[in-house]
Amino acid sequence: MEIKGVAAIVTGGASGLGKATATLLAAQGARVTIFDLNEAAGRATAEAIGGVYVAVDVADEASVTAGLDAAEAAHGVARILVSCAGIAPAGKTVGRENAPHPLDRFARTVTVNLIGAFNVIAKFSARLAAADEVDGERGVIVNTASIAAYDGQIGQAAYSASKGGVVGMTLPIARDLASHKIRVMTIAPGVFLTPMVESFPQAVQDALGAQAPHPSRLGKPAEYAQLVESIVRNPMLNGEVIRLDGAIRMPPR
């Protein structure tokens, strides 16, 4: 699918991987709408790329519907969806003083990362299914999982479970949407230089990057965005999860 002139939505587009993706898509001529709860960063990013910002909670049905309405009013029916919104709280199954992992924290992680992603996918696809085909397809969905879905570390039970769910739903959703000519792909990034990682001491950043065999460094958000572009443009990429990680396999801690 060509990107120029196409309406696109990026959830979590105010920072990190989402911001890099929104920036690249806009530079390629897409009409981008950013869904994010960080209003200041969302508006600043949208202004910088000539896009539109909408405050959206991906886990809330009414919020997503309102966001899609606003995006459609601004740019027409979106044909590209990139889901980058997510949270990553840490906590062991049994923590200090033998306390169990707080169930509300586990549920919140799954609700945002997995249920929220599906919420946006389903509502986005329902609108796109009624649009005309362009060069044999209607649109493309790119989800964001994590290598934690495969190599979950100590303290990542909730996060890994949520991202494992994103991996697991990729193929069935691609099959569900095949009759509508909508492709579905997932990227599982390794350790990238996102705002959270940037807050770590430089020595910690260097140690994390050194764990990747090659290139032996942290991933750049622009490299994630570059893969999104490749997925959008290649019509045979469908129903698959791509690890983007420099061949890293995470140790237990």
Q: In the prediction, which pLDDT does 18 show?
A: 98
What are the tens digits of pLDDT across the range 39-68? Answer: 999 999 999 999 999 999 999 999 999 999
Q: What stretch of H or E contains 80?
A: strand 80-83
Q: Give which of 17, 117, 106, 146 is closest to 59, Cα–Cα.
A: 117
Q: Where are the domains of the chain?
A: 7-191+220-243
CB of 180 within 8 A of CB of 235? no
CA distance 246 to 38: 30
CA distance 1 to 137: 8
Q: What is the mean pLDDT of the chain?
A: 96
Q: Which residue has the tokens 């906590």?
A: 91
What are the tens digits of pLDDT across the range 121-144? Answer: 999 999 999 999 999 999 999 999
Q: In the prediction, which pLDDT does 177 show?
A: 98
Q: What is the pTM of this model?
A: 0.95
Q: In the prediction, which pLDDT does 220 show?
A: 97
CB of 3 within 8 A of CB of 29? yes
Specify the 3-state DSSP secondary structure of 57.
Answer: coil
| Position 196 confidence tier, pLDDT thresholds 50, 70, 90 | confident
Q: What stretch of H or E contains 244?
A: strand 241-244
Q: In the prediction, which pLDDT does 204 show?
A: 86
Given this structure, which CATH class describes domain 7-191+220-243?
alpha beta
Question: What is the set of active-site residues?
Answer: 159
Q: In the prediction, which pLDDT does 238 show?
A: 98
| Position 197 confidence tier, pLDDT thresholds 50, 70, 90 | confident
Q: Is residue 253's pLDDT more than 90? A: no
CA distance 149 to 153: 10
CA distance 145 to 41: 23
